[in-house]
Structure 1
Amino acid sequence: MKHPLPQKPVAELLDDNRLVIWDIEQARSIYNSNFFGKPLGDPRPKEDFDTPLLLDPVEALYLAEQKIIKIQREKTDISYKKFQKIAEKTFKEFNEKYRVYKDLRVRGYVVTPGIKYGCDFAVYENGPGLDHAPYVVQIIDSSEQLTAADIVKAGRLATTVKKSFILSTIVNEEIRYLEFNWWKA
């Protein structure tokens, strides 16, 4: 259920990589709008939660760029452009990850960090708790050598968790996806 907010939610930047929405009502609204963030201590709540919301930096940048939240550090506003520069310095290949994240969100997918699957993102059609993520996405640099062993390793991981494995890369400013589906012969 979406809650109308009297003011734009504030995500506090605690250090260069952790953001928290402390206000519980704002946290619920952001999470319930399209599964952004994770409630502290309850990554997939079944009902309303009573804890702050943790945002991944790519989620926070997306929400700030869309003017849904504002980012602050010690009660001082940080523009999404300034936050992007902070994240670029903190995270390897942040801009590439952000571009893929944004592209998937614009296409209507729910995108969450994929760390538990050993990849960049887990991608849902409806959202955590509503369906299982059918895809895991790994972003690779277009100049990287991809070996057969890398593909087999990724395929085994995706098969183990029953997901399609997608490689994403950016070539000449175009985001490209390559999906691997595995089956038993």
Structure 2
Amino acid sequence: MAKKQIIGKLSDERVLVFDRDGISKLHSKRYGELNDNFLSLSLVEALYVVSKNWLRVKDKRNKFLSFEELYDYAHQIEEKLCIRYLVYKDLRNRGYTVKTGLKYGSDFRLYERSNIDEVHSTYLVKVFSEEKPCDISEITGFVRVAHSVRKKLIVAIVDADGDVVYYNMSYLKP
């Protein structure tokens, strides 16, 4: 017998899940932000969960969206969606819990695999494309922010083939 898929509703830049069983299943696997009566997923999280065939997303007209349709919708909102999704998918597939890093000016917060119940993330992850370099001053700013909030900075570089390379960046005081 096939597993029942969770239904989510597209709401601007989020996908909302109202089904109690769906909320329980996704939240137990550390997806989304839990609210009083719903679970809110970022578009990157929703794409990943859709790719796992755990979630089906309805748009505002109540039509189910394919992965490709949801991706196209999300890409219109977020220019860096492709590289952010590739990094999110890679980190999740490696067993990490990945949450938004927006309040820290990063792409993601990353939690250690060994302790999924910890309150504070260990790392901030900033995503870049190999094809679009950034200024060293921009990286320096990210390192300072990470250091000031007692987190380690990981820079994820996505190459033209979609492969991800990670660099640990830290603040060194001689």
* TM-score normalised by the chain length of structure 2: 0.88
What letter corresponds to residue 166 of structure 1 in structure 2? I
C-alpha displacement at 1:80, in angstroms?
1.1
Match for residue 96 of structure 1 among 60, 72, 83: 83
Q: Give the corresponding residue for 2:104.
A: 117
C-alpha displacement at 1:184, in angstroms?
4.4
Q: Is the 8 A contact 1:119 1:136 kept in 2?
A: yes
Q: Give the corresponding residue for 1:154.
A: 142
Match for residue 20 of structure 1 among 1, 4, 16: 16
C-alpha displacement at 1:54, in angstroms?
0.4
Q: Is the 8 A contact 1:164 1:182 kept in 2?
A: no
Identity in percent: 27
Alignment of 1:31-180 (within 5 A): 31-32=27-28, 34-40=29-35, 50-73=36-59, 74-126=61-113, 129-173=117-161, 174-180=163-169
What letter corresponds to residue 56 of structure 1 in structure 2? S
> In 2, Cα distance between the equivalents of 1:92 and 1:128?
30
What letter corresponds to residue 172 of structure 1 in structure 2? A
C-alpha displacement at 1:78, in angstroms?
0.9
What letter corresponds to residue 33 of structure 2 in structure 1? K
User: 3-state DSSP class of the match of 1:83?
Assistant: helix
Matched, 1:182 2:171: yes
> In 2, Cα distance between the equivalents of 1:166 and 1:130?
19
User: 3-state DSSP class of the match of 1:146?
Assistant: coil
Q: Is the 8 A contact 1:125 1:131 kept in 2?
A: no
Q: CA RMSD in A?
A: 2.0
Distance 1:75-1:148 versus aligned 2 partners, 3 A rule: closer
C-alpha displacement at 1:67, in angstroms?
0.3
* TM-score normalised by the chain length of structure 1: 0.83
C-alpha displacement at 1:128, in angstroms?
6.6
Q: How many pairs does the alignment contain?
A: 170
